[in-house]
Amino acid sequence: MHRRNILWGAISALPAVFAASRASAATDAAPPQKLKVVYHLNHLDKVSFVLGNIQNHLDGVGGPDHVTIALVVHGQALRAFHLTSANPDLSKRVGQFSKAGLELAACGNTMKSQNVALKDLLPGFLAAERGGVVRIAELQSQGYLYLRP
């Protein structure tokens, strides 16, 4: 009689074991959450360095399908992105980043102080009308990780 109860208990536990293994398999198959990162750039002498970091970041994770990146530029660093004075390499990189879906945000306050409009910046930039630091805070509130190389 005791053996019959053990056998019956084992058989009745099979559906629970099967359900648990299916739930585990579904969890294992779920893709990892796409990382979101905001890069903060305000020093003119760090423009190439930061753009290099962004490219390394994209290369390291397998491209823009695996990470969402925003670049927020303000202060003296914005001068490097003026359409009339940007060097060809920088223009090319910004174009590639824009095509890859990176958000390129220029601080509205800096744009006013430098007397530039969006049309005066390299293509792909958006204006952070309420300010670069405000845009960074907004992105952080949306789960973006903050990087300031």
Neighbours of 139 (CB within 10 A): 22
| Residue-wise burial string across 97-122, b where 16 or more C-beta atoms lie within 10 A, e elsewhere | bbeeebbbbbbbbbbeebebeeebbb
To which residue do tokens 């074991």 refer? 17
pLDDT tens series, the chain, 149 aa: 555 555 555 555 545 545 555 555 445 555 667 899 999 999 999 999 999 999 999 999 999 999 999 999 999 999 999 999 999 999 999 999 999 999 999 999 999 999 999 999 999 999 999 999 999 999 999 999 999 99
Give me the pLDDT at residue 33, please: 79
Predicted TM-score (pTM) of this structure: 0.78
Given CATH 3.40.1260.10, say whether it is the number of domain 35-147. yes
Give me the pLDDT at residue 49, please: 97
Cβ contact 30:60 at 8 Å = no
Integer Cα distance of 67 and 111 in angstroms: 28
